Each structure stands twice: as structure tokens, then as C-alpha cells.
Structure 1
């Protein structure tokens, strides 16, 4: 709290001495001096009297702000991510919980703290991996519930509901997911087309272009994530699995996804490689994992969202996202984590002696030097 500075500033604005303020409040001059030099705080019973005397609110007296700006939320999220590098997971978790208590009524912030837990709980302390997942995923779920129950913002309610469903799925409670979201995909109304048309009518063509570019980029990311998940549902149907992979790859190659959004591309390729390995398609496994290793090795860390020559007007959209251009998951150790998936997944055990697999092991060791 900066109460000492506030008291000093307000007293001087009134042209009062410390003694005059002390006489009015009913304390000693030494007490006022200690407040202003941040040696002690006023007794809690004196705070309403001080606020009334200076004609300010208690929040103004304490210099307390319950709401954070979008930029402040991004900075705190980034701060916590950075602290994972040089602090223990326990310390970062303590910091996060302290922030949550302080800004418990800032619902956009609470939503992001729930996401931070989901994206980084593997850094936090626990007895076992399963216990860790259950404990921290449920902690995130309660943050999303808090947002959903208390905010009046329809957009935040929708986000919190979707994230709550994600946590329920992670906790293996599928019936609750279906109860929460329903059993059919809702019809989608493309509001971005209306926004772009409105800009066009106003003669603001650049903003209309930027609107539709950002929408198409999002559709692309969602579509590729859909392909990634769909592949895992087709492990009993090789022909449809193969067709789905090829169609997804055509889309990815068309939009140069390995450069535009390498993380989504990598997830798609890993999903495909796991499936082809189960179908014992050795040539496809080698082709995909070799390509995968080349892309992962060239990742520029930390990974940030960005546009390209086609999506050349999406920077303003990226800037206004909850986390801006940064990824929700800490990306400094991303290369090592991605290689670990390939080198530790049991489905790839039959390939451990293959020359291409040995090259991947060597590449990982080289990156760790």
C-alpha cells in the first residue's frame, strides 16, 4: 500500500503541518510522521476518518485498484511465466494465488490465471503426477466458476463456461461436459462479416480487410486443431484417417502453417505420426517425424503469434488478445518438450533403432548443449 505517500500529498495540498493533521485525527505528530515515511500504517479504525477528512474514497486513500487493464493482465501473466525460469514452481504458485486474492473481482484477470494454471501446473509441486493434475485442474475450474457466476459480461461467461468444460473433460467427467455444453454443435453466425461490411460502408476498407483476415486466421487455427483431434478418433478407420491427414496437410501447406503458427502445425503432425505408427505405416512415420524435427529445431524462442505476407493486417487483432502475441504456455523449453514427446512415446518404440530416429535423438542432444 502507498498510504503514506497519499497522506503526505493530501496533507500538503491542504497546506497543513503534520501536527495539525495529528491534532485533527487525535494521534501524535510522530504517528503521522511514521505513516508518511512508511514505517507504520494508520490503525484501521482511523482509515474512514482520514478518507473523509481528505474527501477521498478508502480505495483512493489506500491507492488500491481492484481492476486491471488488458496490458497489466498481460504483464502479470508474462511475469509469472518468466519467474518459472528462476524461481521454484511453489514460489510462482504462491505469487499467482496472491494475485488472485488481490484482484478477485477482476474477472478477465481471474480467467487468465485459471488458464495459467492449466498451462503450467506441471511446474507446480505435488506428490504424484495424477494428484498434481487433479488438484490444479480443479483449482482452475473453480476460478472459471467464480468468473461465470459473478461477471455480467456475456463474452467472459461464454469463455469461462468453455474452459470449465475443458477442466471437466481433463478430470474425466464427460457427462458433466455434455450437460454443460449440450450434445450438438450450436449454429454459428459469422459476426465478423457484419463488422467488415460495416467498415466497408464507412469507407474504412483497411479495417474491413483486417477484420476478415483475423477471422480467417482464427478459422484456420480452429480447423487445424479440429483435424488434430479428429485424427485420434479415426484410429479404427485407416482410409478415413489417411484422407483426413492429407486434407489437413493440404490446408497447412496452403497457408504455410509451419511458419505462421508452428505450434498448431507441430500438434497436427504429432497426432498424425502417432496414428500412422499404430497403423504400422513406417514410411509415413519417418516422413512426418523427420519433417517435424526440422521445424522444431528451427523454432525461434520464445514463440509468439504473428502474421505473414498473406495475413499482413492481423497485428492489431493479435495485440488486443487477452495475452497479446505471447502463447499461454511458457515456450522457452518448448523444443525440449516436443522432442521428449517423440522420444518417450511408447508407440515409437519399434523405431528406436531406425537411422531417422537416431538423428532425432542426436538433434535433441545438440540443442541441449
Structure 2
């Protein structure tokens, strides 16, 4: 948090107003030496004088004293990663520390939004998960009600919807979302078109590339969900799986975005488990473990490759985290839980299945 710096601010405001120390002293009903001491911060004005000073210079009291409760996005991201690691070690103490920071930066809405996301990503580690989830909703509601930044409000609404779905309140989520799919907004593509018209092809190309990257990941995630929703229709399910796996191969997703690949392979393994197809289920689980180890999922960062060359620079320009939203150990622990019965109960006697579990647990220890 930025410290109070009234002296320098007062000097700047007084000079901008073309006032001398004597004139300011006369207006405030104090001596010139008092004004001098305020400006050198030898002493500070009585708290009752601050509104009068702020009114004189047409600024808020916060602006007058140089008080800025905001954290930079760099600081917000750093705190998120620090707290994420704490949650993986001791959720009770991590929650207490998180709440302490929330109280400290309660008017820093980007930070509150990140804390809401932190809680949604880690609530299952706490002994009272419902408490943590509800707190996430409260933080979202504060951002929605108090923030004047439209993008933050939009993100807070989206995160609140995630909370409602996670907490099994679909009807309330639909009240916010509506009940029918909407056309995808193409704001970014329009920005690219504007750059193209302005004769700036490099900027236009860069934005189109970022659009392809985002849409590609969304398509793969949607296909995985579509496949799981249609497991009873084997033909449709198999065709979706085939096309999805081809996309992974075509765009080298295993290396580019490892966490997406792990989600896909786990989903495919679940499909084969539902069919009691041992060989196919084991093959998918082995691909899953191979990707986790080869590309070090526990320490994964979003990065560029030879095709998507602008990803890192784009995320840096928006001050977005390149690390996963959960600590690596938490991600691996979640995968270990997913591999347990009842879904894969029919594989528990298979040595290849046990080998997958042991490798995953070893990665968890290494993380």
C-alpha cells in the first residue's frame, strides 16, 4: 500500500493554484510556519482541516494526502501466487492470511476479484469449503456494486456465475446468463480490423493470432464437455473425441497448454471407463501421465511456440499471470483424486493403472 505523502502533494496543489504559503495560511486561519511544517511533513494538519484543504484545491481528501489503496497488477499477481502456495501447505492459515490482506486492500477491486478467484480455485482444501465459496461470492458482489471499471464488473459477474455453478445453483446462474447461447462477441477481431484499416498490419496480425489462440482453447474445452455429455451416443462421442485429439496433435497442445491436454486425456479415459474398455482407458491414462511428466505440469507456465509467437507478450501487456491458477501440487492432488474409484474402480487390479497412480504421486511429491 502506498504511504501518505501530504507534503509533496500540498506543495504541488498550492503552486498549481498560484498561492503563496502566506495566502494558504490566511485562508486556513493558521500561521505561515504551520503551512511550512505541513509541506515538510514536520507536522500534519489537524484532521478537521483536511476537508477544508481538499475543498480549496478541488480534490478528494484521499488525493490530497496522496493516499492510494490500490495495488499494481504486478503486486496483485505476486500476492496471488504467494497465497496459492500457502493454500497448498496449510489452508486454515492461508485463509486467515488472505482475509487479513482483503481487509487491508478492501478498496482495491482488482485484488478483491483475484481473491474471489483464489477462493474458488482452493475452497476444497479448507475444512469449511462452503464458507470459502460463500466468501468468494461476497467479494464478487462488492466488486459488482462498488467498482466503476466496467471490465472488472463484467469479470466479477462471470466469476459469480462460476460460483453459482460450482455451488450447484444453476437456476440463479441462468438468471444472470439468460437461457440461450449468445453469439460470440468479436471485439478483439474488430480491433484487429481497425489496425488493418489504419495501415498497421503487424498490430492487426498480432491480435488475430491471440484470437485464434483463445478460440482454439475454448473449442477444445467445449468439445471435451460435449463428448462427456453425449457418452450414450457412441458414434457422436467417438467422432468428437477423434476431432479433439487431432486438434491437440495439429496445434501441439501438449507442449503449448499442458493443462488443457491433461483435461482432454482425463475426459477420454472417463469415456472408456464408462464403457469398461480397459485397454483404451489405460492408453489414455498413460498419455495423461506422459504429458504431465514430460512437460512438468506442476510448474507449467503459459508460453509461446513457433506458431503462437505473441502469447507471452500479450499476457505481459495485460499483466496476466502465466502460471496456472492453482499451485502445482494442488493440481496434481486433484488429478490423483480423479483417478480413484468409483470411475476407475474396474482398473484397480491392473499393474499399468497402479503404475500411473504411482508416477502421479511421485510427481506430487516432487512438486
TM-score band (shorter)?
0.7 to 0.9
CA shift for structure 1 position 261: 0.6
* Match 1:101 to one of 100, 103, 106: 103
Contact 1:209 1:313 (8 Å CA) reproduced = no
What is aligned with 2:27? none
Number of aligned residue pairs: give it. Answer: 340
Within the alignment, does 1:339 sit opposite 2:342 as a pair?
no
State yes or no: 1:76 paired with 2:79: yes
Residue 283 (structure 1) shift: 2.2
CA offsets per residue over residues 298-337 of structure 1, 9 Å max, x none?
2334211111111012222111345321222222443344
Contact 1:3/1:61 (8 A) holds in 2:
no
Distance 1:321 1:241, change over 3 A: farther
- Residue 172 of structure 1 aligns to a residue whose secondary structure is coil
Deviation at 1:51, TM superposition (A): 8.7
Aligned to 2:47: 47
Please state if 1:138 is matched with 2:172: no
- How high is the TM-score relative to the length of structure 1? 0.80
Q: Does residue 231 of structure 1 match 2:227?
A: yes
Aligned counterpart in structure 2 of residue 249 of structure 1, from 245, 250, 256: 245
Q: Secondary structure at the match of 2:352?
A: helix
The answer on 1:177 being equivalent to 2:173 is yes
Correspondent of 2:122 among 120, 132, 147: 120
In 1, distance between residues paired with 2:266 and 2:2?
Answer: 51
CA separation in 1, counterparts of 2:193 and 2:169?
Answer: 42
Q: Partners in 1 of 2:81 and 2:63 — Cα distance?
A: 27
In structure 2, the CA distance between the partners of 1:151 and 1:51, relative to structure 1 (3 Å rule), is: closer
Is residue 238–residue 279 contact of structure 1 (8 Å, CA) maintained in 2?
no
Say if 1:7 and 1:61, in contact at 8 Å, map to a contact too: no
Q: Per the alignment, do residues 80 and 164 of structure 1 end up closer, same or farther by CA in structure 2, a change over 3 Å counting?
A: same
Deviation of the 1:178 alpha carbon = 1.4
Q: Is the 8 A contact 1:165 1:180 kept in 2?
A: yes
CA distance in structure 1 between the aligned counterparts of 2:5 and 2:153, rounded to whole angstroms? 38
CA contact (8 A) 2:2 2:69 kept: no
TM-score by length of 2: 0.80
Structure 1 residues 366 and 159: CA distance shift in structure 2, 3 A: closer
Gaps of 5+ in 2: 12-19, 22-29, 32-37
Contact 2:164/2:173 (8 A) holds in 1 = yes
What are the residue-to-residue correspondences of 1:259-274 with 2, within 5 Å? 259-274=255-270
* Structure 2 Cα separation of the partners of residues 197 and 230 of structure 1: 32
* Alignment-derived partner of residue 345 in structure 2: 349
Cα pair distance change 1:79/1:366, threshold 3 Å? closer
Contact 2:6 2:64 survives alignment (8 Å)? yes
Cα deviation 1:164-183 (Å, max 9, x = unaligned): 11111122111111111111
Residue equivalent to 2:34: none
Is residue 143–residue 156 contact of structure 2 (8 Å, CA) maintained in 1?
A: yes
Q: What is aligned with 1:90? A: 92
Please say which of residues 328-337 and 178-187 is displaced more in the overlay: 328-337
8 Å contact from structure 1 (residues 299, 335) kept in 2: no
Q: Is the 8 A contact 2:348 2:354 kept in 1?
A: yes
- Could you tell me whether the CA contact under 8 Å between 1:306 and 1:318 is conserved in 2? no
Counterpart CA distance in 2 for 1:340 and 1:151 is 38
Note the C-alpha offset of 1:186.
Answer: 1.1
Task: Call closer, same or farther: CA 1:106–1:197 in 2, change over 3 Å.
Answer: same
- The separation in 2 between residues aligned to 1:50 and 1:4, in whole angstroms, is 13
